[in-house]
Copies of this chain bind each other. A is one copy, B any other.
């Protein structure tokens, strides 16, 4: 796979190619964990503790240039830097215990903006219920922040546990962030109240932490993943990891996304499937546990919306009004 020295560039490997290369290096040098409780690829990493619980750790880097769309304030960026990490912990059923933040900041960056960024980080950490213990500050050419979460879980929900017959469900509606990104990145228009409602989902991200932990503790989930890379991509990942196919009967699209789609004569389901950064959870539930799963989500203040069924085979299909293969439209850095 590797060419001559210096011939192959990071960009041609892509994010996943780099991760594969790193993993092979860790494995071959004896620095990987044998038989990890959350095998790669999964949303977070875990290690079994002597007391039977799991230490769960997660890091994801917020980079302003790629993670903050035009118009996002520094307060929201801080919320997002924390939320994107919490959402992955939530999907595994882990409660974060503490955070660290490694900040990279350009020399000429405004101090007031930086303060607001940390106000967002602080508000978010408090909202989710863990302290920020410390961190590190270094110089960088972009504003970036690697958030590092340490958490604990009594039981873990892997990405790869879906079985034929399982119910596929999500914790909320999709489409608003997809529509908001069309407005923010492509300059598409919307009446002001609609614009505001859509953009709020991008500027005020919230992770489903209570639902995730409650669902994991209920023992009702066969697999779980956070939807931040987009619903279509997430469904494909869960399907591949679980070695089964997915048949979707309905996609819950937010009313705001439907309104936006109608104005522009575009497909609302498309917005929902390719949006990304909704921070909803996508889970599978054995049918006999469905009632308990719904009850657990509701007791945690959330809900569970059934969108389809896992079947023998592979691939993801929409089976409402004819059968269509759902293309995998993930979103990959570095390509």
Contacts and interface: CB of A to CB of B under 8 A. Distances in A.
A301 interface: no
Interface in A193-218: none
B18 A132 contact: no
B111 A9 contact: yes
A319 B60 CA distance: 50
Given A11-B108, A137-B334, A100 B59 contact: yes
A57 B8 contact: no
Nearest to A47: B98
A57 B334 contact: no
Nearest to A125: B31
B148 A9 contact: no
Contacts of A121: 26, 31
A11 B29 CA distance: 40
Contact of A59 (B31, B44, B136, B144): B136
A115 B2 contact: yes
A104 interface: yes
A138 B333 contact: yes
A49 to B, nearest CB: 9
Given A29-B126, A47-B97, A100-B57, A137 B15 contact: yes
Contact of A142 (B109, B126, B141): B141
Interface stretch (A32-40, A153-161, A252-260, A282-290): A32-40
Interface in A41-60: 44-47, 51, 55, 57-60
A105 interface: yes
A133 B25 CA distance: 13
B6 A113 contact: yes
Interface string A56-85: 011111010010000000000000000000
Contacts of A51: 51
How big is the A interface, by class? 35 or more
B140 A144 contact: yes
A326 interface: no
A264 interface: no
A43 to B, nearest CB: 10
B2 A111 contact: yes
Contact of A9 (B2, B101, B109, B138): B109
A123 B9 contact: no
Contacts of A3: 111-112
B98 A55 contact: yes
Given A31-B123, A146-B146, A60 B136 contact: yes
6 contacts: A13-B111, A18-B105, A45-B133, A61-B104, A140-B144, A148-B148
Interface of A: 2-13, 15, 18-19, 21-22, 25-26, 28-33, 36, 40, 44-47, 51, 55, 57-61, 63, 66, 97-98, 100-115, 118-119, 121-123, 125-126, 131-142, 144, 146, 148, 150, 333-334
